[in-house]
A = this chain, B = another copy of it.
Amino acid sequence: MQSLSFQLKHTCGQARAGTVTTRHGTIHTPIFMPVGTQATVKALSPRELDEAQAQIILGNTYHLYLRPGHELVKRFGGLHGFMNWPKPILTDSGGYQVFSLGSLRKITEEGVEFRSHIDGSRHFISPEKSLEIQQALGSDIMMVFDECPPSTADRGYIEKSLAMTLRWASRSRTAWTNRQQQALFGIIQGGLYPDLRLQSLSALVEMDFPGYAIGGLSVGEPPEKMYEVVEHIAPAMPADRPRYLMGVGTPVDLIQCIDRGVDMFDCVMPTRNARNGTLFTSTGKVNIKNARYAEDHEPLDSQCSCYTCRNFSRGYLRHLYQCGEILGLRLNTLHNIHYYLQLMAGARAAIADGTWNRWKNQQLDIYK
């Protein structure tokens, strides 16, 4: 038995609905994956994630390697056992986080040497080491270790980086020793250069991964640039494998990229924005800090069925935010995650019904 299988069920133009089956269960795509950086989706319990119908969450290899350590996590039954989340988990490779350390890291052909952001200690992660960590974490989907140059870097740098990233992808694939248990996705790089993106994809497809991701986007370029790259590359990706756009994005980004053929997304936006008081609703964004909500007796989103919207007023949420109360962070996060997951459920239903274009335009209108 393979560690992962994908079934394409419906299409509407480029938009796709399907299922990804892993050892920990089946994911219905398009799907958004809440980010659980340090073995917890910030502010939420596994029970709440389950009630919000989260199907798969993401863990961060860099953070878990440093704290509590992947070998410790392994002794607790992997990330599933450690955090008590029985459904699928995807881990990133640590690449993006390590490259974000800036002056604290040094890249060579062998891998990346870096200093911990926690205590300054020295560490080294290579493609093989990243796989070793992710195998200890026991995620259902692992990612190859790649370099993430700024999408706006010059062509010379991007070309050189891409060549090394492809050699790293090949090394990752060789280090992938448990193909029945954990899947491994390749990551397409190449900045904003269509030809480099295609070259990256073609080299990865030759290596044959169970799924492919688009990396290095949503790192500062305008959304239209990102949509262009996705529009160019997604339809060229193997139709029989899941397509994952890493680190994206706003509700509009998700809809625009589903429309261009993407199946899976992750982003800290719904959780981080929630903690900053920015909430997504069926009528647009709400900044709950705003004084206009102090006397507002209505729920945050009268169309929403989450615990927050069923039980509390905007006035109460604003009060909790003003006081810095933990319950405010919780209720806001719960709502935003529920919103993102309901948005994906809406997208799946529309693709299955053949009403994708109408649904998409309705949703995009909200954010106009």
Contact = CB atoms under 8 A, between A and B. Distances in A.
Contacts of A326: 40, 42-43, 326, 329-330
B76 A297 contact: yes
Interface stretch (A107-115, A279-287, A312-320): A312-320
Contact of A294 (B43, B72, B316, B323): B72
Contact of A316 (B84, B312, B319, B331): B84
Contacts of A307: 45, 47
A312 to B, nearest CB: 6
B67 A323 contact: yes
A196 interface: no
Interface in A280-336: 294-295, 297, 307, 311-313, 315-316, 319-320, 322-323, 325-327, 329-331
Contacts of A84: 311-312, 316
A67 to B, nearest CB: 6
A27 interface: no
Given A45-B330, A46-B311, A75-B295, A83 B316 contact: yes
A61 to B, nearest CB: 15
A327 B37 CA distance: 13
A42 B76 contact: no
15 contacts: A38-B320, A43-B326, A43-B327, A45-B330, A45-B331, A67-B322, A67-B323, A68-B319, A72-B295, A76-B313, A82-B313, A82-B316, A82-B319, A84-B312, A326-B330
A299 B322 CA distance: 35
Size bracket of the A interface: 35 or more
A39 interface: yes
Nearest to A44: B327
A63 to B, nearest CB: 8
A326 B43 CA distance: 5
Contacts of A322: 67-68
Contacts of A38: 319-320, 323, 325
A358 B113 CA distance: 62
A94 B329 CA distance: 27
B311 A40 contact: no
Contacts of A311: 46, 84
